[in-house]
Amino acid sequence: MKNNLTWRWAWRELTHGQLWPVVAALALIIACVFALSALAGRIESVLTQQGRSMLAADMVLRSNQPVSPDTVSTLSRDGVESSSQTRFGTMAFSENDMQLISVKAVESNYPLRGVLELQNAQGIQSQVKPGELWLEERLFSLLNVKPGDKVDVGDLTLTVSGKIVSEPELSFNPFSQMPAAMMHLSDVEAAGVVRPGSRVSYRYFFRGDDDALAAVKDTYSLQEGQRWIDENTGDRTGDMLERSRGYLSLTVVLVIIMAAATCC
């Protein structure tokens, strides 16, 4: 008898009482929370991919000393792809002028993430090949050269292939604003510009799934002057992603508070 009265009371409240607006409001709150949580997860995934594009890889080993090719090859097993880069400053000599430049010497598979755009008469290229020299736009006037001209970098004469339109891992350093150039890593030895005492930095890029990259970190013991960098630990990239995650979490909380206040 008591159960029948309870059911009859509940049915009367559902059909004639004020529970329907409350149920509708609660359903709306739950739907908004799930929708925002899914959106936040999607946006965080996009931000992570953008952060890796800015690094030109999923993970980077930054070093002030070269790592042997055998070691890099060992780390590149089990589905992990790698690419090496050497950065240095040197003088570039054209027929009429000379200029101090900042050079990135990269392999043909650079970048592992993001987009490299190099423009010449044939259109947009995405790879640096041996014997090529790609220049930042202002270098054409500083060196008084055009595509097809010859420029000496150290002991090596390279052909100006075109201009650098865009590249990943861009950074701003107010104390080092030398115009940029790109050449192939295989040409560095012949150029003879990297010698004992030279200001050189090395980057080793890795791409793969998270488990494989974690295994790479566990396999390699960092030496002095070396550091692992990913989208969370990169100086600017990490800060940007951390702020974005904070804003997304704050948005979800605010929606819950507003929905709860509306329900009350």
Q: Percentage of the chain surpassing pLDDT 70? A: 73
Q: Evaluate whether residue 154 is within a structural domain.
A: yes
Q: Is the pLDDT of residue 140 over 60?
A: yes
pLDDT, one tens digit per residue, over 106-128 is: 999 999 998 999 999 889 999 99
Tell which wins on pLDDT, 134 or 29.
134
Q: Evaluate whether residue 211 is within a structural domain.
A: yes
Q: Evaluate whether residue 234 is within a structural domain.
A: yes
Q: Residue by residue, what is the 3-state secondary structure of 179-244?
A: CEEEEEHHHHHHHCCCCCCCCEEEEEEEECCHHHHHHHHHHCCCCCCEEEECCCCCHHHHHHHHHH
Domain interval for residue 89: 58-239
Distance of CA 138 to the CA centre of its chain: 25
Q: Evaluate whether residue 224 is within a structural domain.
A: yes
Both structure tokens of 108: 């043909």
How far apart, in whole angstroms, are the C-alpha atoms of residue 145 and residue 159?
Answer: 10
Model pLDDT, residue 175: 43
Question: What's the pLDDT band for 38 if we cut at 50, 70, 90?
Answer: confident
- In the chain, the number of structural domains is 1
Mean pLDDT confidence for 211-220: 91
Q: Evaluate whether residue 262 is within a structural domain.
A: no
The answer to whether the CB of 166 falls within 8 A of the CB of 116 is yes
pLDDT, one tens digit per residue, over 42-94 is: 766 666 666 677 888 989 999 999 999 999 998 888 789 999 999 999 999 99
Q: Evaluate whether residue 47 is within a structural domain.
A: no
Q: Evaluate whether residue 124 is within a structural domain.
A: yes
How far apart, in whole angstroms, are the C-alpha atoms of residue 147 and residue 237?
Answer: 34
Q: Evaluate whether residue 117 is within a structural domain.
A: yes
Model pLDDT, residue 174: 47
